[in-house]
Amino acid sequence: MVLAWNDTAVAYPRDGSLAALFEEQADRSPDAPALRFGDDTLSYRELDERANQLSHALAQLGVGAEARVGLCLGYGADWVVGALAAVKLAAAYVPLDPDYPVDRLAYMAEDSGVQVVLVRSTTAERLAGTAVRLVDLDEVAPAITAAPLGSPAHSAHPDHLAYIMYTSGSTGRPKGVAVTHRNVIRLVRGVDYVDFRPGDSVAQCSNISFDAATFEVWGALLNGAQLVGISRDGILDPARLGERIRGEGIDILFLTTSLGMQVARDRPAALDGLRCFVFGGEQADPHALRALLAHGAPQRTVNGYGPTETTTFAAAHECHGLGPGDTVVPIGRPLSNTTMYVLDESLEPVPAGVEGELHIGGDGVARGYVNRPGLTADRFVPDHLGGVPGRRLYRTGDRARHRPDGTVEVLGRFDRQLKVRGFRIEPGEIEDCLLRTGLVRHATVQPWHDTAGDTHLVGYVVPAEPEVTTEVVRARLSDELPDYLVPHLLVSLPALPLTANGKLDMRALPDPTGQFRDRADVSAPGTPSERMIADVWREVLGGTEVGRQDSFFELGGHSLKATQVVIRVSAAVGAQVPLRLLFDHQTLAAFAAAVDGLAAEPDRAAAAGPARPANNARGSVADLLAAFEQPNRGAAA
């Protein structure tokens, strides 16, 4: 268990840097395609030169080794260019999702210590009220295009920071995980769980604020492959996803387990043509995986496992088949240059078949948490088993056990941390936010499993005043937390139930769907379309009573369940119902009317969503323009 099952050392460029390894690919195949996001296509030479120009501009603003560069750019090629420009200076990039609440973005920018934040005119408003220095790429474009095309002088060390990624924190604030160049290189070079090849097309589906993007971006760019952006709308609809996979010639795709298993259940043919399909983020559904394997899975179907603190993936299991009695899909064995141990409370290995806490070591273990020395010391402990002085193990908090053949199963958690639709969630962060609103006196956030087996967040709250409604509480939470942290259901109670010992009585918490089933004000569906769609909503939402003016999302729906709805409604009406239609028409009556209109005009395209309003806030423009008044386009700094 300690030696043979962790004999994973293989040769890889562990002393390299992300910039140097990317530049090797650019020198080897300068005209090969590097990335494509919609109409924005760049070869390796073009991507290298664009990143070089931006890095020269950042250097003029004082960005250097270990500096932090915020990326508030959203979906597209910009953030890849920005990340590459940062690591060329041995600086670290900090993804800042422009869809996050303003206060959360401000906290992340301040906590990480960003020196500058790259924005567009459409995202600048998100940080306009903060003290951070904004660089609007739209306004400084003339200065950047006048910058040298050659690479800046850089001497990044493998132990320099590459990025800081924020995850949910149990203390009420997100915590930043500091990841190094070596951590990332270990993930995508010298590995056997996925076969990156020059000329491959690797899908980029993940939000930049989640570490699956590390696998996608650097897996492609450090191996001579092409990164192909697929928008959110193209991911959530299995039919459109299949079209994109075939149309773009995608070879390698990662999806969160929730989405991947939904595709496996509803349209496994969407994954046809892939050479490698990787899913991960939470426990997989064995029934859905069996359906995919029975259909004929991609050449390699891999269950990837790993917390952000060990750089995306620490283990992988190639799925060939499941036994009829298998109820858990294993996470497999450690990746190359990675170790995994199942330990007891004394940090000693337990025998195969016995539960313990999973600990992870090797070159993927991150530096630690930003500005959290105490938490870092608690979760990153000395590696007394690996035989290399100074190495550390990350305590995952996952309950796990070894199978007799050495593969590992994860069975749950030792703490309250949850995984919902691939998102890592600390209920304590949500509870803290609820209490800080001043709208509630007591709160608890718990997981709830619907009849379909899906996990939801439910917030039970005791209002501070009688006039405080759950709608008011939800609105305030939405101002403070990303959508994935806002409970799907909020239940108002006069008091939280307690045991005789004064602890929360979990068993006495009411069924959260009771507030919908027991309503007297439900307006019954009227038209044939309303009745048909109400039946679909009930099936998808787990039996919830549906009224004409009920919102799908307030009843507990989310993007994955919305996908199930449009697939079933499309089949019922004989016309393709776009996913966007449900987001734009969220009540039963409005959605049914929109579906009727679509069925009458099947060629009508879904309306485009409103663009984010522009903002006039600008920053650092004069510095950049002055820096490049005398362009020297051919020289390297």
**pLDDT at 196 exceeding the cut of 80:** yes
Structure tokens at 112: 């990480």
What does the alpha-carbon distance between residue 118 and residue 71 come to, in Å, rounded to a whole number? 5
Final residue belonging to a domain, choices 120, 138, 157: 157
Residues 21 and 146 in one domain: yes
The whole-number pLDDT of residue 191 equals 96
Residues 451 and 533 in one domain: no
The residue range of the domain holding 559 is: 528-600
Residues 486 and 541 in one domain: no
53 domain residue, yes or no: yes
Residues 63 and 114 in one domain: yes
Q: What is the mean pLDDT of residues 621-630?
A: 40
Q: What is the mean pLDDT of residues 59-88?
A: 95
| Alpha-carbon dihedral angle through residues 290, 405, 255, 379, given to the nearest 10 degrees | 140
- Confidence band (pLDDT; 50, 70, 90) for 416? confident
- Confidence band (pLDDT; 50, 70, 90) for 558? confident
The whole-number pLDDT of residue 608 equals 34
What does the alpha-carbon distance between residue 484 and residue 160 come to, in Å, rounded to a whole number? 31
Percent of residues, the chain, with pLDDT higher than 70: 92
The whole-number pLDDT of residue 397 equals 95
**pLDDT at 204 exceeding the cut of 50:** yes
Residues 148 and 70 in one domain: yes
The whole-number pLDDT of residue 135 equals 96
- Start-end of H helices in 43-169: 44-60, 77-88, 102-112, 141-145
Residues 56 and 122 in one domain: yes
- Confidence band (pLDDT; 50, 70, 90) for 575? confident
Q: What is the mean pLDDT of residues 89-93?
A: 97
Measured CA to CA in angstroms, residue 43 lies from 17, 216, 281 at distances of 21, 17, 32
What does the alpha-carbon distance between residue 621 and residue 385 come to, in Å, rounded to a whole number? 52
Least confident of 281-285, 356-360, 503-507, 612-616: 612-616
- Type of residue at 501: N
What does the alpha-carbon distance between residue 225 and residue 44 come to, in Å, rounded to a whole number? 10
Measured CA to CA in angstroms, residue 544 lies from 236, 524, 536, 554, 636 at distances of 23, 13, 11, 11, 63
What does the alpha-carbon distance between residue 626 and residue 624 come to, in Å, rounded to a whole number? 5
Find the CATH number of the domain harbouring 481: 3.30.300.30
Q: What is the mean pLDDT of residues 597-609?
A: 58
Find the CATH number of the domain harbouring 571: 1.10.1200.10
> Structurally, how many domains does the chain consist of?
3
What does the alpha-carbon distance between residue 136 and residue 611 come to, in Å, rounded to a whole number? 17
**pLDDT at 603 exceeding the cut of 70:** no
- Confidence band (pLDDT; 50, 70, 90) for 223? very high
276 domain residue, yes or no: no
Cα–Cα–Cα angle for 585, 586, 591, rounded to 5 degrees: 50
- Confidence band (pLDDT; 50, 70, 90) for 148? very high
pLDDT in tens, 9-53: 999 999 999 999 999 999 999 999 999 998 889 999 999 999 999
Final residue belonging to a domain, choices 157, 188, 205: 157
Residues 481 and 549 in one domain: no
Least confident of 390-394, 505-509, 568-572, 615-619: 615-619
420 domain residue, yes or no: no
**pLDDT at 621 exceeding the cut of 50:** no
The whole-number pLDDT of residue 610 equals 32
The whole-number pLDDT of residue 630 equals 34
| Residue among 88, 84, 86 at smallest CA distance from 112 | 86
What does the alpha-carbon distance between residue 409 and residue 405 come to, in Å, rounded to a whole number? 11
Residues 88 and 148 in one domain: yes
Contact 305, 289 (CB under 8 A): no
pLDDT in tens, 50-71: 999 999 999 999 999 999 999 9
Q: What is the mean pLDDT of residues 415-444?
A: 90
pLDDT in tens, 511-557: 887 665 545 556 889 899 999 999 999 888 876 778 898 889 878 78
The whole-number pLDDT of residue 520 equals 52
Residues 459 and 547 in one domain: no
Residues 57 and 113 in one domain: yes
CB under 8 Å to 351, separation ≥6 — which residues?
A: 1
Residues 485 and 535 in one domain: no
Q: Output phi, psi for 275, to 5 deg.
A: -85, -35
568 domain residue, yes or no: yes
236 domain residue, yes or no: no
Residues 69 and 137 in one domain: yes
pLDDT in tens, 240-282: 899 999 999 999 999 999 889 989 988 999 999 999 999 998 8
Structure tokens at 587: 């009540």
Q: What is the mean pLDDT of residues 458-487?
A: 92
149 domain residue, yes or no: yes
Final residue belonging to a domain, choices 499, 520, 554: 499
150 domain residue, yes or no: yes
On the 0-12 / 13-18 / 19+ scale of CB atoms within 10 A, 47 is buried
44 vs 617, more confident = 44
570 vs 358, more confident = 358
**pLDDT at 619 exceeding the cut of 70:** no
Q: What is the mean pLDDT of residues 67-82?
A: 94
44 domain residue, yes or no: yes
CB under 8 Å to 334, separation ≥6 — which residues?
A: 5, 6, 8, 314, 315, 340, 360, 362
Residue 606 in 3-state DSSP?
coil
Q: What is the mean pLDDT of residues 585-590?
A: 93
The whole-number pLDDT of residue 602 equals 59
Contact 168, 425 (CB under 8 A): yes
- Confidence band (pLDDT; 50, 70, 90) for 634? very low
| Residue among 583, 592, 577, 579 at smallest CA distance from 525 | 592
What does the alpha-carbon distance between residue 480 and residue 109 come to, in Å, rounded to a whole number? 15
Contact 2, 385 (CB under 8 A): yes
Find the CATH number of the domain harbouring 58: 3.40.50.980
**pLDDT at 8 exceeding the cut of 80:** yes
The whole-number pLDDT of residue 2 equals 79
Contact 333, 373 (CB under 8 A): no
Q: What is the mean pLDDT of residues 369-392?
A: 94
Q: Provide the β-strand partners of residue 420.
A: 423
